[in-house]
Amino acid sequence: MGAQVSQRSAGDVPPATQIKQPILFSPADSANDAAANAARSTVAAPALRRASVHKQVAVSGPVRLANGDAGVYIAVPVEAHRFSGDVSRLESRSAIVGLIDAQTLVTQGFEGHSALPLELKDGATLLASFGGHLGDPVSTSVSVPGQRWMVAVDGGSTPALERALPWLILSMGLALAFAVARLLGNATRRRDAALRAEHEARKDLERAHADAERRSREDSLTGIFNRRHFGDTLDAELRGHGAKSGHAVILLDLDGFKQVNDEHGHLAGDAVLREVAERIASVLRESDTLARWGGEEFVILTAGLDRDGARAIAERARRAVASRPIEVGDLEISLTLSVGVALSADGHGTPDALLDAADVALYAAKHAGRNCVRVLGAPPVPEPFESSSPA
């Protein structure tokens, strides 16, 4: 990573300073692995805390590198973005950390230029030096985030270098800032791209799960609910509201459906089942649950109705099927329904008991000549004259 700082064109001001590699990363240099792991460094801890908690750029105290040079950690706070999702809270307490080789920074800053000797110290620790021995050092204090550094030059130096010293300090600071800003920008872009990809993948997975769940509860032929969904719904309703809540199960069986398959084939039979499902659904309330129970049998769950109300729904379903022939291509197929109704209020307080009671009522309708409704525990109601289909 490199950063270049432009200087003013004056005779007593150093030319542009080229900082080639101020950030030390050493994944292949095992000698610096321990120093590069800022998370485990006690020296880096104060700078990390200042950056992640107080949201300020911070510089650590000196740490010794494998080549003998002194280095410092610089910590830059990470700001969470609004699309960062569930990890934004964690991101807002994090920081990006770079390890700076101070000697490399100073050496590259003066590379190719003549200058008087210079020393950079953090307290009593020498961070970097350039040139020869300081015979008559003159020092000045430089404030950096979290530290105070001392820059010393030879007192016998020419006034030109003394005038250039502030520019040198500014050049070093700007070069360091540019290097860290570039590192932060690249890391932020990679992080944001990864978070966007993760968000899209999570949405795709949620859609796939929702679709799989819907398909697992839907009858593939008719598009209405299947037996599994109806059983779960009936169990939840009876558990949540109790046996005396006015729930009714209505079992409906197509009379003579086997003859349709035998004479016209299973494709025609499938078309008939789809049409029957649509006709039954068209006369139900939004709160009612319709499912295919199996083969040519359908089942309805109703709530909040008394015996007469449940019978009325069953009658509407029967008439919807018997009212006109079902058209399949050039065919017109006339079918009827036998319907059995059972109410939870009659003591059928469990799903199995309520379904068994409805089944008993359905067989009563079959034995009564088909194309009729029977409610378990109620006297039969005279049916209007309608021709019944053969068994």
Residues 252 and 152 in one domain: no
Residue 111 sits in which domain range?
A: 3-201
Task: Report in angstroms the alpha-carbon separations of 10 from 15, 16, 163.
Answer: 9, 11, 11
User: Is residue 388 included in any domain, yes or no?
Assistant: no
* pLDDT, the chain, mean: 79
Residues 278 and 324 in one domain: yes
- pLDDT digit string (tens) for 294-353? 999 999 999 999 999 999 999 999 999 999 999 999 999 999 999 999 999 888 889 999
pLDDT for the residue numbered 196: 84
User: Is residue 390 included in any domain, yes or no?
Assistant: no
Residues 182 and 289 in one domain: no
Q: Is the pLDDT of residue 255 over 70?
A: yes
* Dist. CA 219–CA 292, nearest whole Å: 7
pLDDT for the residue numbered 59: 86
Lowest mean pLDDT: which of 23-32, 34-43, 139-148?
Answer: 23-32
pLDDT interval class at 159 (50, 70, 90): low
Q: Is the pLDDT of residue 212 over 90?
A: no
Question: What are the tokens at 34?
Answer: 């321990």
Residues 14 and 141 in one domain: yes
Residues 114 and 165 in one domain: yes
User: Is residue 16 included in any domain, yes or no?
Assistant: yes
pLDDT for the residue numbered 21: 38
Q: Is the pLDDT of residue 22 over 50?
A: no
* Dist. CA 64–CA 70, nearest whole Å: 5
pLDDT for the residue numbered 3: 32
Residue of higher predicted confidence among 14 and 64: 64
Residues 196 and 343 in one domain: no
Residues 197 and 309 in one domain: no
CATH value at residue 38: 3.30.450
CATH value at residue 365: 3.30.70.270
Q: Is the pLDDT of residue 43 over 50?
A: yes
